[in-house]
């Protein structure tokens, strides 16, 4: 077994920050697997082109390459069935598909405008220019303008977490008594934000804050030890 993982970084190659790569990092740790990291920057498209992708994460497992965090989670679950399950059975896997979309739309999509102008500060000049140009084209206005008013906008984001918040009234993790991939789907974006931005997404008395603390502590504090801002 020889696993390698292309992970998004900026000017500091030891500071991986993609929400999707963090889902994969947590999934690998859950399976008790370690992967050699291959730092990858936004503009290094040619490095992953042989794997038929222009985005990371890309996982290499010997001769096999797997693209996209959801596909990687499924690959790990199927290829390493004797290790702890990421989904807790086929029912969990099926429902997690929708949770993954909710995580992409509401969590990644909800956090992005709140930290978007902080991201290029973490990038090499060439990647910062690429990021600004492509994201300003997508949103139709300057990054700083998208992020302006985030102190107010964060309230809407916090409200959008209600399904998670209410779930935590009766269970410790989305996966139940212990975390599983359902948790990593939502946690990855929070770790992304912590790595690239000092902005406080959560109030300290929020049950979601306590849940996030538990995931910072998971796997011997793997996510907490990775460089980032205080969350």
Residues that bind a copy of itself (CB under 8 A): 85, 87-99, 101-102, 105-106, 162-164, 166-167, 170-171, 173-176, 180, 182
- In the complex, the smallest distance separating the C-beta of residue 20 from a copy of itself, rounded to whole angstroms, is 15
- In the complex, the smallest distance separating the C-beta of residue 38 from a copy of itself, rounded to whole angstroms, is 28
Nearer to a copy of itself, 23 or 132 (CB): 23
Task: Kindly give, in sequence order, each residue whose CB lies less than 8 Å from that of residue 179, ignoring residues fewer than 6 positions away.
Answer: 30, 173, 187, 214, 215, 218
Task: Kindly give, in sequence order, each residue whose CB lies less than 8 Å from that of residue 66, ignoring residues fewer than 6 positions away.
Answer: 58, 59, 72, 75
Give the whole-angstrom CA distance, residue 68 versus residue 110.
20
| HSE value, Cβ hemisphere, 13 Å, CA-based, for 39 | 11
Nearer to a copy of itself, 112 or 131 (CB): 112
Q: How far is CA 209 from CA 18, 203, 215, 231, in A?
A: 20, 7, 10, 9
Total residues belonging to the chain: 231
Q: What angle do CA 59, 214, 21 make, to 5 degrees?
A: 15
Nearer to a copy of itself, 99 or 128 (CB): 99
- In the complex, the smallest distance separating the C-beta of residue 117 from a copy of itself, rounded to whole angstroms, is 26
- In the complex, the smallest distance separating the C-beta of residue 224 from a copy of itself, rounded to whole angstroms, is 24
- In the complex, the smallest distance separating the C-beta of residue 211 from a copy of itself, rounded to whole angstroms, is 12
- In the complex, the smallest distance separating the C-beta of residue 177 from a copy of itself, rounded to whole angstroms, is 8
Q: How far is CA 49 from CA 25, 27, 39, 42, 155, in A?
A: 22, 24, 15, 13, 40
Nearer to a copy of itself, 62 or 91 (CB): 91
Nearer to a copy of itself, 96 or 196 (CB): 96
Nearer to a copy of itself, 105 or 203 (CB): 105
């Amino acid at each position: 077994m020889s696993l390698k993982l292309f992970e998004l970084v900026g000017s500091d190659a030891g500071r991986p920050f993609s929400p999707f790569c963090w889902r994969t990092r947590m999934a690998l740790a859950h399976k008790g697997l370690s992967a050699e990291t291959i730092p990858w920057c936004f503009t290094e498209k040619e490095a992953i082109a042989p794997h038929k992708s222009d985005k990371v994460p890309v996982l290499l497992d010997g001769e096999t390459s797997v693209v996209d965090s959801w596909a990687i989670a499924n690959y790990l679950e199927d290829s390493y069935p004797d290790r702890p399950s990421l989904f807790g059975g086929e029912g969990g896997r099926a429902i997690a598909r929708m949770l993954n979309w909710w995580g992409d739309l509401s969590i990644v999509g909800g956090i992005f405008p709140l930290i978007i102008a902080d991201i290029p500060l973490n990038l090499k000049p060439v990647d910062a220019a690429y990021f600004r140009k492509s994201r300003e084209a997508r949103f139709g206005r300057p990054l700083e303008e998208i992020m302006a008013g985030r102190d107010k906008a964060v309230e809407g984001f916090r409200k959008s977490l209600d399904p998670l918040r209410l779930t935590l009234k009766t269970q410790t993790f989305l996966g139940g008594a212990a975390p599983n991939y359902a948790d990593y789907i939502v946690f990855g974006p929070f770790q992304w934000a912590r790595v690239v931005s000092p902005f406080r997404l959560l109030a300290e008395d929020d049950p979601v804050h306590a849940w996030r603390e538990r995931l910072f502590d998971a796997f011997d504090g793997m996510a907490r030890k990775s460089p980032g801002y205080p969350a």
